[in-house]
Structure 1
Amino acid sequence: MSGYRPEGIENAFAEDGAPAPASRPSGELPALGVVGWLRWGWRQLTSMRVALLLLMLLAVAAVPGSTIPQRPQDPSKVVEFFDDNPGVAPWLDKLQMFDVYGSVWFSAIYLLLFVSLVGCILPRAKVHWIALRARPPRTPRRMGRYPAQGARVYAASYTPAQVADAAAAHLRGRGPLPRFRVEQGTETSAGARAPEGEPGPVHVVAAERGYLRETGNIVFHLALVGLLVAVGLGQALQYRGQAIVVQGRGFANSVSAYDTFSEGPWFREENLPPFTMVLDDFTSTFTDDAMPVAKDFTAFVSVTDPAGTRLETIKVNHPLTIEGAKVYLQGNGYAPRLTVKDADGNVTFAGTVPFIPEDQVYTSRGVVKVPDVVTGEQIGLVGYLLPTAQLSAQGVRSLHPDLLNPVLVLTVWTGDLGLDDGVPQNVYELETEKMTQARTADGQPVTLMLAPGTTVDLPDGLGTLTLDDIPRFVALDLRHDPALTWIAIFAFTAIGGLMLSLFTPRRRVWLRVSTRSDGDGPARTVVETAGLARTDDAGLQPEVDALLAFLDTRDPAPDDRPAEDNPTPDDSPATDDLGETR
């Protein structure tokens, strides 16, 4: 025996009367070495405790990505953050906080979680595979110590072999999938000594079920690993673009055609499916209530790809699928078509400008920037489009989202728009730091009101403004994630595995059948059965009772059954001559 025990208990014995070897000083541990430390680290990493800790850490690490602007998604927001926080932003940039999901530390957590889960699952799967092929546990000698138990006494005409066969058939059940894994045998044939007073072999049946519980657990964790892999590959290969398309116009599926575009690190522009799309028409339906509510939106588009041109429709929650990419209808509104001329009649701006709705009656705000002016004074127009305008003493407002009485209300700014500074700007906001608002002689802001087809003069001789018409626009969102199908498969697989793990009972049932005689009385067939569950299982005792009830139905001579030795379900459990509950 070793003279040292890790728990610190000294061994006072030694061989051949030699003195006991000196024990290690208290608190000193044996040296592990490099291999020992690596083995210890691997065991810690692949423990379920560390896997759960890494999963929680991954969720915490994702929080900065939702609170701090991310460079791959919105570079302009990152620039604004640097302008607003010049002291903190450089430090955050060094910590890769503006690209959280592509950072080294986030990737390290992700990979460690992946390795930890794989290290947890593979040994468990190996052990489970061996357990699936193993024999059911041997029938115990005494049944009285188990939580579920029962007994029957039959006439000798119901032989032990018949009882064992009937019990095995009941436990296996019917159908392609057995209820229990069952093994039959005789104890004497296995070399065990027959108990005193039990002539002949003792027939035993051992049955076990519930391995699907562990199977479901392993399937759940394998699906979780697959989900992590699918999400990672999907983020690496995905791309997403947003574009505003005005009625009568379209776009080609290229990176430059989108207003905003984000992609994964493994994306290549040649992966974009070649197609063009034109918005032919857009219809909207609203209720007739005092506060109208949208009922339906439909965009009618023409799609041209290598297969030809076809007409398609896009609705809310009904995207258009083009070669694996889905095109969603994210929003809609009005885009007034405006023409601005300078004092000499030269056109300095002509085109549509999307106005973004701000309420359910489509009161829409927009900005018109006119940088190309001969005088050098750039023009900015800010205001609202009212689809159904109502003038009152309190002002002007819209009553309905349809174009029943449209009016465009604008204020005028002149100066430097800041477009030449190299800093990205929000097209829906006007930077007024270097601009002056046009005012009337009494100091009030100049307000222009236009109906479709009308022209008004700009203040200070800047020229004229014409509202030609008001077409509709739609906001389209194109998304392509090749892992979405696999994510759905793994998610449903994980749910299925979890359901198996939670609701599959793990049970063991044993049955012992022997022939006994009280001496002068006739021989009888004695049945003892017991059940054991891995956890608290309210259905364990009913399982044992159902087995005994089935054996009763198979009794070839039920009238000869010793009634005094077979209590009804309402009677108290009896005790046989061995002192065991039956």
Structure 2
Amino acid sequence: MSYRPEGLRTLDDEQESPQPAAPAGIGVRGWLRWAWRQLTSMRVALLLLMLLALAALPGAFFPQTPQDAGAVARYRADQPGLAVWLDRLGLFDVYASPWFAAIYLLLFVSLIGCILPRTRTHLAAMRAAPTRVPRRLRRFPVHATHETAASPEEVTAAVRAALGRRFRVATTPDGVSAERGYLRETGNIVFHLSLVGVLIALGLGQVLSYRGQAVVVEDRSFANALVDYDTFTSGSLVDEDRLDPFVLTLQEMTSEFTVDAQARDFAAHVAITEPDGEVREDVIRVNHPVEASGANIYLAGNGFAPHLTVRDAEGEVAFSQPVPFLPEDDFYTSRGVVKVPDVSPGLEQLGFTGYLLPTAVVDEVGVRSVHPQPNAPLIVLDVYTGDLGLDDGVPQNVYELDTTGLTQLTDEEGEVKILLEPGQEVELPDGLGTISFDSLPRFAALDVRYDPSLTLLLVSALLAMAGLSASLFVPRRRLWVKVGAGEGGRTVVEAAALARGDDPGLEKELEHVMTAVRAAGPTSQEDK
């Protein structure tokens, strides 16, 4: 016996099926037909799916231009020879490369080419009547016979009642034919259609989505505009100048820690102004984003942004704003950089780099923080002078200070260390001015993600799981019951069952039917 993709096939079917037509002669048309059949086979579809996964791996090993153009530039500078070949192969932007798009499209065509014929065959099979009763039921591995005093009509009624609504049943002069398990093939088709949906969602996500990160200090606002993002990546069809203009204001950033500095909770209390002017308050927590104009806003990090003011020798304010210091350990020992433009004649610019210690202690180890909450904040800074490159027009990382070509301020005892406590103002060496620690607000690092394909992706994934479950666990069975006349006016019942693949419940299914047959009338002999 052999099996069709749609279901089961008996030897009788094989004997009566017409012989296939002779293969087409070798030629352009024949080769095209052969290539199409290979492309639309499930074997090739699975191979392309695996190839697509392998093609995405370079994106994990090499920096990608859409995600981090700066890292790509550094890679080009460090490995100029290799970078030329990587660029030619499109490995700095894998998902936009022609070879990745070719695999993606071939997989798309292959899946659709597999699904359409199977769907057409499946619909035709669902409309067709169950297969007729085979002539010889004893040759099936699972079969049973029985003699009863019940009439053929009573036996047929008992069989139909036992099969119930679980089977598609047809009664013919040869007997009763029943089939079940069409949901198995339906699930298979749904699974493959869902894979197409996943591919469409991934493609739409690449061209219609955007993602950006921004640091927002307490009592300050962030607008959904390109200029307010620290980093921003978008799909090819996203108009970066026409993002939905919602505004988020960070009202308060709170954090809770245990006595031994274990984090318990982080919460960003925000007010969101929608494009229509509606204002609502909400709270962003870890793994609990808020939604604004279709974008999800996640809390990606937090820390302190001390408000520092630098004045020149004449007392004029050269710099005054909160400076985010990035945490580097569990005690929120945070590193920060302050870049100050021209301060006084003779010196071009000032640069400060150092640490914020939320709960500072001084012991034999040195100055360190022992708790992440600001119980005794202290800022320790080194001072540099020289050209910071602020007027060169070249973008810089605000969290890094390139000290190449800069001069660190020193005195008779060595390097100058500026120590600042809240509310304290310290004079800079050599009459450069003063720096003060005005206040200690917190900041929230936000991750904004907009992806209109997520709903399609979720629905496709759920349908794929449901379809796969049905194709794996729904049994595909056929069952036949032949009713004939025996000696002494008795009725001879012969039954057989067939399943697709191993089916431990097949014998129990047949036994359930034979139990109903035995109950239809008195038994004259044991089942054979």
TM-score (normalised: structure 2): 0.92
Q: Does 1:472 align with 2:435?
A: no
User: Matched residues in 1 for 2:294 and 2:41: separation?
Assistant: 39
- Which deviations, in whole Å up to 9, do the C-alpha atoms of 1:137-165 show, x marking residues without a partner? 2212222211211122112xx10121012
User: Matched residues in 2 for 1:449 and 1:509: separation?
Assistant: 88
Which residue is equivalent to 2:485? 515
Which residue is equivalent to 2:421? 451
- Which deviations, in whole Å up to 9, do the C-alpha atoms of 1:163-184 show, x marking residues without a partner? 012202221x1xxxx3111111
User: Matched residues in 1 for 2:516 and 2:167: separation?
Assistant: 15
Q: Does 1:399 align with 2:370?
A: yes
Which residue is equivalent to 1:540? 506
Which residue is equivalent to 2:121? 127
Judge which range, 464-473 or 31-40, deviates more.
31-40
Contact 1:240–1:263 (8 Å) recurs in 2: yes
- Which deviations, in whole Å up to 9, do the C-alpha atoms of 1:184-239 show, x marking residues without a partner? 1113xxxxxxxxxxxxxxxx111111111111111100010011111111221111
RMSD: 1.7
AA aligned opposite 2:410: R
Which residue is equivalent to 2:4? none
Which residue is equivalent to 2:280? 310
1:329-344 map, 5 Å? 329-344=299-314
Q: Does 1:390 align with 2:361?
A: yes
- Which deviations, in whole Å up to 9, do the C-alpha atoms of 1:249-280 show, x marking residues without a partner? 10222111111111111112365222212111
User: Matched residues in 1 for 2:47 and 2:436: separation?
Assistant: 64
- Which deviations, in whole Å up to 9, do the C-alpha atoms of 1:343-369 show, x marking residues without a partner? 232222111110011112111111111
Which residue is equivalent to 1:32? 26
AA aligned opposite 2:479: V
Contact 1:65–1:98 (8 Å) recurs in 2: yes
User: Matched residues in 1 for 2:483 and 2:24: separation?
Assistant: 54
Q: Does 1:258 align with 2:229?
A: yes
Gap runs ≥5 in structure 1: 1-28, 188-203, 568-581
User: Matched residues in 2 for 1:342 and 1:270: separation?
Assistant: 38
Q: CA deviation at 1:31?
A: 6.2
AA aligned opposite 2:518: D
1:153-302 map, 5 Å? 153-155=147-149, 158-171=150-163, 173=164, 178-187=165-174, 204-269=175-240, 271-288=242-259, 290=260, 292-302=261-271
User: Matched residues in 1 for 2:491 and 2:147: separation?
Assistant: 6
Contact 1:508–1:533 (8 Å) recurs in 2: yes
Contact 1:278–1:303 (8 Å) recurs in 2: yes
1:499-514 map, 5 Å? 499-514=469-484
Q: Does 1:497 align with 2:491?
A: no
In structure 2, the residue corresponding to 1:460 is in which secondary structure? helix
Which residue is equivalent to 1:553? 519
Q: CA deviation at 1:60?
A: 1.2
In structure 1, the residue corresponding to 2:85 is in which secondary structure? helix
- Which deviations, in whole Å up to 9, do the C-alpha atoms of 1:50-71 show, x marking residues without a partner? 1112111111111111221111
Contact 2:24–2:30 (8 Å) recurs in 1: no
Contact 1:282–1:299 (8 Å) recurs in 2: yes
Which residue is equivalent to 2:315? 345
Which residue is equivalent to 1:64? 58
Q: CA deviation at 1:462?
A: 2.2
Q: CA deviation at 1:423?
A: 4.2
Q: CA deviation at 1:46?
A: 1.1
How many matched pairs? 504
- Which deviations, in whole Å up to 9, do the C-alpha atoms of 1:75-126 show, x marking residues without a partner? 2112211221222222222222221111211111111110111111111111
Q: CA deviation at 1:468?
A: 0.8
Matching residue within 43, 46, 52 for 1:52: 46
Contact 2:347–2:385 (8 Å) recurs in 1: no
In structure 1, the residue corresponding to 2:81 is in which secondary structure? coil
Q: CA deviation at 1:308?
A: 2.5
Q: CA deviation at 1:422?
A: 4.8
Matching residue within 483, 488, 492 for 1:526: 492
Q: CA deviation at 1:523?
A: 2.3
Which residue is equivalent to 1:366? 336
In structure 1, the residue corresponding to 2:80 is in which secondary structure? coil
User: Matched residues in 2 for 1:40 and 1:161: separation?
Assistant: 52
Contact 1:349–1:372 (8 Å) recurs in 2: no
Judge which range, 356-365 or 33-42, deviates more.
33-42
User: Matched residues in 1 for 2:392 and 2:239: separation?
Assistant: 31
AA aligned opposite 2:29: V
AA aligned opposite 2:49: L
Q: CA deviation at 1:427?
A: 1.7
AA aligned opposite 1:63: L
Larger Rg computed on CA atoms: 1
User: Matched residues in 2 for 1:47 and 1:150: separation?
Assistant: 39
Which residue is equivalent to 1:137? 131
In structure 2, the residue corresponding to 1:243 is in which secondary structure? strand
User: Matched residues in 2 for 1:372 and 1:227: separation?
Assistant: 55
User: Matched residues in 2 for 1:512 and 1:140: separation?
Assistant: 9
Change (3 A) 1:423 1:93: farther
